[in-house]
Structure 1
Amino acid sequence: MATILRVGLTGGIASGKSTVQDEFIQLGVPVLDADQVARDVVAPGKPALAQIVAAFGADMLLKDGSLDRARMRQRVFAHPDARRQLESITHPAIRQQMTAWLAQQQGPYCILSVAILVEAGMRPLVDRVLVVDADEAVQLRRLCQRDGIDDSLARQMLAAQASRQQRLDAADDVIVNNTDLATLREAASTLHQFYLRLAAEGAPNAAGLRLPMSVI
């Protein structure tokens, strides 16, 4: 089987990464969402969930036996050691599923959508990195509105990820995502054509296409 172009899509929390991801899906691109993989690996009956209970206690479970994600999120974002312990349980299982998925893909290119691609050391899994960037003030506003949380927790959640500059330093391609959806769609379409061309030319590491685009 021919090797296809592998694009890593990432961005800070509430940057608009999921919206960009959906645009590529609409364009017919195979996309694996790491958030869904992360949910799958801690489903009831999975080894990772048993390890989480052993490490953090049964009070991290809901009545139906599934992980209380809201409670776990509050715990790990308030305690960095707890976050690292959780990641040591979940990241190997997530990476294994991603690697298996990549090996099954066919076509010009595919996308791994991973919010923590940079800080989790997953850059070697992909040929190029597309970063969805947004001003921190925009991220904070969106996050508080989306999750119904206060500014303090929102700032803790941002601080737990790679910095904005760390993501930009790792980027081959950038969409700046601060204003309207129409501009986002145009950016995704432009990058789609660019990635198709790179895949056809067999040049995944050609100079990046940096787009000063915006979206709400």
Structure 2
Amino acid sequence: MSYTVALTGGIGSGKSTVAHIFSNLGINVIDSDIIARQVLTPGQPDLLALHAYFGNDILMKNGFLNRIFLRDKICNSSNDREWINNLLHPTIRRIAYQQLLHSRSMWSLWVVPLLVENSLQNYVDRVLLVDVDPIIQLDRTMMRGNIQPEHIEKIMSIQADRFARISVADDIIDNSGSLDTLKTKVLALHKYYLSLAESRNKYLL
């Protein structure tokens, strides 16, 4: 397995943008959110399990996942949230691990929004946090236009707080500035991670 950096951050922090920049630099990106969407497509075992647990309300008329209903359950019921997490997270981790095993870039980026919540920091070589002020998180997420402010605040309240993420981070990107500034920071980290990966590989040899 190549040198692995976990990328984490709260909703609206800019994880996807950072991951996209790294991808353009030739780094293999394994994204837990993308895997989650894939395992919840029609016919997949985890969606069938959700259907059996919640009934028809979890599905839209076309058979696809009703994401609004699922989000409501995650935000408003700790019991349902725990059941959903126990169902989905092992599947997502298993697929992510397989993808990391087959990664061929010098180092790999694993996007893990709930890294702190699931105590996954010890499974990677390094943790990179995309950090922004909570007010910026809220504003940026609202700009997406598909989540109400009260839902965003609820999601933020059940995620690990900013200081818990900072406590496990090896590197932190402040993403409160411009896109050009962000690209400069990502490029510098990419060069740094290449050097760490090269050193690790030499040691293993």
TM-score, normalised to structure 1's length? 0.89
Tell me by how many angstroms 1:100 deviates.
0.9
Give the number of the structure with larger relative contact order, counting CA–CA contacts within 8 Å between residues 6 or more apart.
Answer: 2
The residue number in structure 2 matching 1:182 is: 180
Matched residue SS, 2:177: coil
Q: How does 1:6-155 map to 2 (within 5 A)?
A: 6-155=4-153
Tell me by how many angstroms 1:124 deviates.
3.0
In 2, the alpha carbon distance for the partners of 1:33 and 1:105 equals 13
Tell me by how many angstroms 1:40 deviates.
1.1
Tell me by how many angstroms 1:163 deviates.
0.8
How many equivalent residue pairs? 201
Of Structure 1 and Structure 2, which has the larger fraction of its residues in helix? 2
Deviations 1:104-158 (A, max 9, x none): 1223200101111111222233110000000001111111221343332211010
Q: Which runs of 5+ in 2 are unaligned?
A: none
In 2, the alpha carbon distance for the partners of 1:143 and 1:80 equals 23
Change (3 A) 1:75 1:193: same
- 142-151 or 47-56, which moves further after superposition? 142-151
The residue number in structure 2 matching 1:169 is: 167
- 79-88 or 18-27, which moves further after superposition? 79-88
Deviations 1:145-203 (A, max 9, x none): 21343332211010121111111101001001112101000011000000001111118
* Paired residue type of 1:102: L
Tell me by how many angstroms 1:81 deviates.
1.9
**Alpha-carbon RMSD:** 1.4
* Paired residue type of 2:177: T
